[in-house]
Amino acid sequence: MTTLVIGAHGHVGQQIVQQLATAGETVYSGIRNAEQAATIQQLGGQARTVDLMGTAEALVPAMQGVDTVVFSAGSGGSTGDDMTLNIDLDGAVKAMQATELAHINRFIIVSALGTGDRAFWAKSSIRPYYVAKFYADEWLQHRTNLDYTIVRPGLLTNEAATGKITTNPGDDGTRQITRADVAATVAAIVKHPLPKQIVTIVNGDTPVDDAIEKL
Catalytic residue among 129, 130, 135, 148: 129
Q: Is 129 a catalytic residue?
A: yes
**Which residues 6+ apart lie within 8 Å of 159 measured at CB?**
178
Degrees (nearest 5) of the Cα angle 104, 86, 132? 85
Of 149, 154, 62, 53, give the one whose Cα is nearest residue 99: 62
Neighbour tally for 108: CB within 10 Å: 27
**Which residues 6+ apart lie within 8 Å of 142 measured at CB?**
none
Catalytic residue list: 129
